[in-house]
Amino acid sequence: MSDSQSRFAEFIKACTKVLELPDPTIGGDNYLFQVGDRWVELKRNERGDLVNFLSAIYLAPPDGELRDDLIASFNTHYLFNGGFSLVADPENGRIYLGRTHRLAALDARDIRRELLAFAGTASMAGTWYMRNEDETTAPPSAPPRENPGSFLKV
Amino acid sequence: MSSLPRILVDFAGACDGRFGAGSAGYNDDGAFVAVEGRTVHVNLDQNANRVVLWTEIERPQNSPIGSFEHAAVGYTAREFLARGLAIGVNRKADLILLGRSIEQDALAGDDALDLVEEIAREAEAVGAMLQKAARPVGAAAPAGDAVIFRS
């Protein structure tokens, strides 16, 4: 296990301990927590110095296109208001809300508050996007197919 | 006497040391530093206890602002996950910027100066990338950039 991988794994283990969840299995560069009806993914970068919080906020209807203008506009405004960005995955018609943290600045003792706050912001970002897009499709509620992570009771 | 938080005043001083005397300053809105002919701004995001490092990107000439948004969104999808960098485009303000938001504590170390330097350097590449992606008024849309998101 590389140094960056083990530091990430240690942080996630500390988080699950604080949340009183079972010991996690961390094989890759990410881990998923369920917060209410939403999945929040913690994903490290290759160097291991950054951890991104990510949560899907929008799923486009079949053949629907993502609105680049809305995404780029959001990214201007919320860079200065919380440091949030929308991360597009046009191949799968999904948009994620993301927020970068330095791993060194994260404290596992705050993880419950951080996850709840991020999930709340993701919910609002999804509402914002759909309202601006004038689109009525519901956001994705199915869990991602990969590592299902742990359930966080809220 | 400035009403700015000490952290910005200290940061401007540290920038002088790295990028040359007189390269950095501050006003009521934040700090700014000249790096290789480009201005990198530093603004506090008080509510989130974070700081935004950003620089303006020159708009591609003779192209509508919507013509390169797809490339900007694709860049952000890749680089936000890798380095925390994002391109914002604001049509109303006719503004394009490259920036990153970091925890406020991170401003106090040498790493912050590296992050400033990286923004300035990356801005050149981003400007060229958007220029390439932009199409002149009336031209057809190019094929979309591939965006690799999930590993």
A76, A79, A87 ranked by CB distance to B77: nearest: A87
**Residue range A74-111, pLDDT digits in tens:** 999 999 999 999 999 999 999 999 999 999 999 999 99
Q: A83 and B50 in contact (C-beta within 8 Å)?
A: yes
Q: Which domain holds residue B64?
A: 6-133
Q: Is residue B151 part of a domain?
A: no
- A91: chain B residues, CB-CB within 8 Å: 147, 149
Confidence of residue A154 (pLDDT cuts 50, 70, 90): very low
- pTM of the full structure: 0.86
Q: Please count the residues of chain B.
A: 151
Q: B85 and B97 in contact (C-beta within 8 Å)?
A: no
The total number of structural domains that make up chain B: 1
* CATH number, position A136: 3.30.1460.10
**Residue range A17-59, pLDDT digits in tens:** 999 999 999 988 999 999 999 999 999 999 999 999 999 999 9
For residue A66, the model assigns a pLDDT of 95
Q: Is residue B111 part of a domain?
A: yes
Identify the residue among B29, B42, B46, B50 best suited for mutation to test binding to A, counting A beta carbons within 10 A and taking the highest: B50
For residue B148, the model assigns a pLDDT of 46
Q: Is residue B114 part of a domain?
A: yes
- The distance of B37 to chain A (nearest Cα, Å) reads 23
- Secondary structure of residue B74 in the 3-state scheme: helix
Question: Is the model more confident about B89 or about B3?
Answer: B89
**Residue range B18-69, pLDDT digits in tens:** 999 999 998 877 899 999 889 999 999 988 999 999 999 999 888 888 899 9
- The distance of B77 to chain A (nearest Cα, Å) reads 5
Q: Taking Cα atoms as reference points, which of A33, A44, A38 lies closest to residue A119?
A: A38
Find the mean pLDDT for residues B1-18.
83
Q: Is residue B97 part of a domain?
A: yes
Residue A131 CB coordination number (10 Å): 9
Question: Is the model more confident about B4 or about B128?
Answer: B128
Q: Is residue B105 part of a domain?
A: yes
The total number of structural domains that make up chain A: 1
Name the residue in chain A with its Cα closest to that of B47.
A82
For residue B139, the model assigns a pLDDT of 63
Burial (Cβ within 10 Å: 0-12, 13-18, ≥19) of residue B109: exposed
* CATH number, position B47: 3.30.1460.10
Across chain A, the runs of DSSP E, i.e. the strands, are 30-35, 38-44, 50-59, 84-89, 94-102, 150-152
- Return the top range by mean pLDDT from A5-9, B119-123, B146-150: B119-123
For residue A30, the model assigns a pLDDT of 95
For residue A1, the model assigns a pLDDT of 66
In this complex, is the C-beta atom of A12 within 8 Å of any C-beta atom belonging to chain B? no
Q: Which domain holds residue A35?
A: 3-152
